[in-house]
Amino acid sequence: MHHCVTVNGSSLLFCEVIPRSTYGWCPGERYCSDSQGFTAQRDLVDARPRSYNGRRTPSRYRALLRMRKAKRRPVESSNRATDSPDTLFSKIDAQKTAVKRSSSSAATIVWLRGRGDLRIHDNPLLLQAQRLNEPLFIMFTWSSADADKNYGFGEAQRVFLFSAVDALNRALNMRFQQVIHYVRLSDDAGLEEYLQLFHFLEASLSARTLLMARRYEPPLLQLDMELECTLTKQRKWKVYTHNMHLLHEPWTVAYDGDATSSAGHFGTLLPFWQAWQRNADLPPEPAAAPSTLPPAAALERCEPRTPACCEKPPPLAGDAFVDRTTRCAPFQFVTSLVETGLHPVRPGTKRWDTVLLGSWAVDEERVRAFLRDFLEHRLPLYEKNKSRADLEVVSRLSPYLALGMLSAREVFHATRAASRRLAASKRSKTFERRLIWRDLAYWTLYMFPEAVTTPIRSHYASQEWNEDPRLLAAWQRGSTGYPIIDAGMRQLWQTGWMPQNIRMAAASFLVEYLNIHWIHGLQWFHRTLIDLDIAINAMMWQNAGRTGLDMWNFVIHPETSARSSDPTGAYVRKWLPELAQLPNAYIHAPWKAPESVLSSAGVQLGATYPQRIIADLGAARKQSQAAVLEMRSRSMPQFFNADGYDRIRVPVLKAVSLPHERFQQTATADNTVWRHVFTRREFREAPFATHLPHETEACDRQEAQLLPKDSTRAMQGKSDAQAAA
């Protein structure tokens, strides 16, 4: 066997024939690393034999003595004196390089996927790896399937994810001499491809332990449960999953709108929060970063132990690291994050990503410093000014929470601690409840898996919408002619983010005034948000589109609301510099400005700034309202109670804790119950359906009656189709 270890330019070639049973190595393997490899490749292998037939090697220089006995010379020369063996081994120890395993050791796999797991502090995966104290193999996988338009990462978030993974890799290397191994999966990677990957890791690393963060998007949750069951039952793996993303998971809260949780309408924040407190209590305190991590597990290049699907790439002259890449049919270990295909910007295309990333830091320590700064300086002002877009009041932590660069538990407990130090008049209940609202979004998606694509109020699926592509394009580009809407949409395009109240204004304008289907807004935000969160995005757009559990009880006027959210005009002037010279009286309504004012400000409507795409907001609002009333008038009566509230069927689930129980429950929830949901007065008081009073009373009696699941959303859709016919 040949071992080539190079430190600071000095190379030694250790040659000896060692039985495979002694070390678990295969003849002909070659591991090479040089001084640049400490930072460039980061997969160094300690050449010292660790054991011989189960006993400690008598002499740490046995390999060197055999080399001298064979009168072998170093394969490379150095411009300076060769390090002594003591110096060589001390430098290797100082770098804590990856050690070759004895035949009795097994590796632990930490699997990162960008779903709440991209941090070092409060990371239960790393903490458990520290406790297990087995050779550690950290990997990040990417497939085009991870960019699924419904449940995957959007383009803007992929740019941020790329930088976040790279930053975490550097941090792990600096603190623990660990690196992230990158795996590119096939474009349509599914359960079979992942099983082949873990079969390869089992063969190459003797790995039988997997640590990963739980994912909550319905198809991803199901995939993870199937993978976990297969690995544990068929392959005898130990699979440990952890909550790294939420304060409390949906099945822990166990909220179903029962009588003890009836302080508000079903699916709204107040009753959910009460169930959250009653059934789950406060989340655990965040854990500190691990003090150490086990040594890195070295990925073997052993042909007899490599799956038949894999083959080594052809060697390149002078490239000592070429054999780090293992090419396989369904997966490929690659040497750089770029090679995974994660980054959405391809060579030769416009680099829009650089502008977007210019607004955000990706270093974990800086992010945690942002949290401390917010709690110290802006939290006291948050409750009073949270709706002001022209002030720097909000936390801007959402991108880091979305990817797990910052722990939700850390934010929650740090906020509570900071609030206790403030005077009662400066405390903010709203900011703390934002995290509860976040849990509510994931509970909603768990209960209604189709919420990303289908109305929760299923009878709303038959509503008529405006299909004019020009109006949608103007909204997407920030060219509606309404400054507060355009400023928000341009900020979104340039930075991947905008304040919550501006998001709501943009969503309300699309649905309430343009009468464009909310799914188009959801998809655009999915593509452009750097803080994309599938559950939160779906819940916001469902509620904005009047189809969610908590229909918005307001309509945001694009002119009058702007005067309260941006009274100084600073927000509009920042993102619409063409209007910067307009006085405050006209900054939110340039169409009202006299020609002399427009001329002196350098504004020409229709040229330097667009004309309004709809001039009569009142008429547009009535058309949108009429579309909802028309849909309700032809819906089946079981979808309303006697007071005109919409009703939906809700699956009845109970609190569970074990992974197999979660999987079994989502697969076999046999019962549903009718729940009424909040409905705006303008819809409740108008005629709905065409039914007799006794039919309504019969529906009301079913409010708490359990019904077979085969009559849930699928049957509702069938009823809608029959009614429409």
Domain of 123: which CATH number? 3.40.50.620
Which residues make up each annotated binding site?
382, 431, 531-533
Has residue 22 got a pLDDT over 70? no
Last-in-domain residue among 448, 473, 506: 448
Query: Lowest-pLDDT range, 284-298, 350-364, 692-706?
Result: 692-706
CATH number at residue 510: 1.10.579.10
Has residue 382 got a pLDDT over 50? yes
Rounded to whole angstroms, the Cα distance separating 120 from 46 reads 26
Show the domain range for 409. 364-448
Q: In terms of pLDDT, which residue wins out, 10 or 489?
A: 489
**Domain identity same for 172 and 253:** yes
**Domain identity same for 605 and 640:** no
Q: Is residue 703 a part of any domain in this protein?
A: yes
For residue 328, the surrounding DSSP H or E stretch is strand 326-328
Rounded to whole angstroms, the Cα distance separating 372 from 374 reads 5
Q: Which residue has the tokens 């919408």?
A: 465
Number of domains comprising the chain: 5
Residue 658 confidence class, pLDDT cut points 50, 70, 90: low
Q: Is residue 495 a part of any domain in this protein?
A: yes
Query: Lowest-pLDDT range, 179-193, 252-266, 279-293?
Result: 252-266
CATH number at residue 440: 1.25.40.80
**Domain identity same for 481 and 559:** yes
Q: Are 176 and 292 in contact (CB under 8 A)?
A: yes
Query: Lowest-pLDDT range, 101-115, 226-240, 544-558, 686-700?
Result: 686-700
Query: Which residues, including other chains, have CB under 8 Å from residue 170's CB and lie 6 or more apart?
Result: none
Q: Is residue 324 a part of any domain in this protein?
A: no
Has residue 156 got a pLDDT over 60? yes
Which residues make up each annotated binding site for FAD?
382, 431, 531-533
Query: Which residues, including other chains, have CB under 8 Å from residue 261's CB and lie 6 or more apart?
Result: 255, 271, 272, 274, 275, 278
pLDDT at residue 654, rounded to an integer: 62
* Pairing mode, strands 238-242 and 209-213: parallel
**Does pTM top 0.75 for this prediction?**
yes
Rounded to a whole number of angstroms, the CA Rg of the chain reads 30
Has residue 130 got a pLDDT over 80? yes
Rounded to whole angstroms, the Cα distance separating 231 from 212 reads 13
Q: Which of 629, 608, 622 is nearest to 689 (CA)?
A: 629
Last-in-domain residue among 417, 448, 479: 448
How many residues would you count in the chain?
Answer: 725
Residue 298 confidence class, pLDDT cut points 50, 70, 90: confident
What number of other Cβ atoms are within 10 A of residue 317's Cβ? Answer: 5
**C-alpha torsion 676→682→686→692, nearest 10:** 10
**Domain identity same for 265 and 150:** yes
**Domain identity same for 590 and 642:** no
Q: Are 80 and 38 in contact (CB under 8 A)?
A: no
Q: In terms of pLDDT, which residue wins out, 279 or 501?
A: 501
Q: Is residue 246 a part of any domain in this protein?
A: yes
3-class DSSP state for residue 54?
A: coil
Residue at 551: amino acid letter: M
Helices (H), 32-118: 37-40, 62-69, 85-95
Q: Are 613 and 474 in contact (CB under 8 A)?
A: yes
Q: Is residue 62 a part of any domain in this protein?
A: yes
pLDDT at residue 665, rounded to an integer: 53
Question: Mind spelling out the 3-state secondary structure of 554-586?
Answer: CCCCCCHHHHHHCCCCHHHHHHCHHHCCCCCCC
536-573 pLDDT, tens digit each: 999 999 999 999 999 999 999 999 999 999 999 999 99
**Domain identity same for 123 and 264:** yes
**Domain identity same for 568 and 708:** no
φ/ψ of 410, rounded to 5, equals -65, -45
Q: Is residue 215 a part of any domain in this protein?
A: yes
Q: Is residue 514 a part of any domain in this protein?
A: yes
**Domain identity same for 612 and 464:** yes
**Domain identity same for 496 and 603:** yes
Q: Tell me what the mean pLDDT of segment 326-338 comes to.
A: 80
For residue 671, the surrounding DSSP H or E stretch is strand 671-677
- % of the chain surpassing 90 pLDDT: 66
Q: What is the largest CA-CA distance in the chain?
A: 103
Residue 52 confidence class, pLDDT cut points 50, 70, 90: very low
**Domain identity same for 399 and 531:** no
**Domain identity same for 409 and 267:** no
pLDDT at residue 227, rounded to an integer: 96
Q: Tell me what the mean pLDDT of segment 614-620 comes to.
A: 97
Q: For 179-223, give the DSSP string.
A: -EEEEEEPTT--HHHHHHHHHHHHHHH---EEEEE---SHHHHHH
Last-in-domain residue among 280, 295, 321: 280
For residue 500, the surrounding DSSP H or E stretch is helix 500-508
Residue 656 confidence class, pLDDT cut points 50, 70, 90: low
What average pLDDT does the chain have? Answer: 81
Q: Is residue 323 a part of any domain in this protein?
A: no
**Domain identity same for 659 and 519:** no
Query: Lowest-pLDDT range, 133-142, 604-613, 699-708?
Result: 699-708
434-487 pLDDT, tens digit each: 999 999 999 999 999 999 999 999 999 999 999 999 999 999 999 999 999 999
